[in-house]
Amino acid sequence: MLYVKELYKSYEAGKNKYQVLKGIDFHVAKGEFVAVMGPSGSGKTTLLNCISCYIPFDRGNIRLGGMELAGMNEEALARVRNTKIGFVFQDFMLLDGLNIRENILVPRIVQGEVGAEAQRLADQLAAMFGIGHILEKYPAEISGGEKQRAAVARSLINNPLIILADEPTGNLDSKSGRAVIETFNNAKEQMNATIFMVTHDSFAASFCDRVILLKDGTIYRQLEKEESRSGFQDQLLDVLKEMSR
């Protein structure tokens, strides 16, 4: 589904050049829920921005569903972002002037495809994620957890190849954060959704199938969940502690 090969990214500040990603290699299979963790400055958000092509990378290959993203023009990339990639942000990014149903439908509105099928799918997603009762409300009238579940529904309205989530529980309390992660799991189990999530939260990451740990722009380790969720979280915490030494 997603293949990242020998990915390098650097930034320049004055005469100085800082290498942020140093030859990153990994893949994400269809229907897999994968997290990326690592200390501040390890390259997590840069990696996510390179995959979505919001920032250019120095060299390497990013292939999504058989499409090579490097070299696409802006029009083609915009089409990929709207139809093939779903985005979930830490700050929800809901539009205050639209109700929740309309917010879920935004990617279809952009395409001019808000027909009966899109409306049915929006209702189905809202019901699946426990927010059917707030579809006529506006973002200012609902909780942070409800906003993020609406954002997850929006990310799925176009049946994307992959969802890219950037710290989706970062602004939520533990109860709301768990509800959002369970929403991702529902999407994975009921829609075979593929999810790639950047997070600092070991609890959220412990729900994933696999966690990629970054340190200083390289992959330090990859851990697969082979035990209980709590056991996997303990394993993650041990490795994160090891990385900080």
C-alpha distance from residue 161 to each of 74, 86, 87 (Å): 19, 8, 11
Least confident of 59-73, 95-109, 201-215: 59-73
- Which residues, 6+ apart, have CB-to-CB distance to 130 below 8 Å? 149, 179
**197 φ/ψ sector (left φ>0, alpha ψ -120 to 50, else beta):** beta
Confidence of residue 151 (pLDDT cuts 50, 70, 90): very high
Q: Is 172 exposed, middle or buried (0-12, 13-18, 19+ CB in 10 A)?
A: buried
Confidence of residue 9 (pLDDT cuts 50, 70, 90): very high
Question: How many other C-beta atoms are found inside a 10 Å radius of the C-beta of residue 235?
Answer: 18
pTM over 0.85: yes
**How far apart are alpha carbons 238 and 227 in whole angstroms?**
15
Q: Residue 17 has what pLDDT?
A: 87
- Which residues, 6+ apart, have CB-to-CB distance to 239 below 8 Å? 213, 220, 221, 223
Question: How many other C-beta atoms are found inside a 10 Å radius of the C-beta of residue 130?
Answer: 15
How is residue 222 written in tokens? Answer: 């990859």
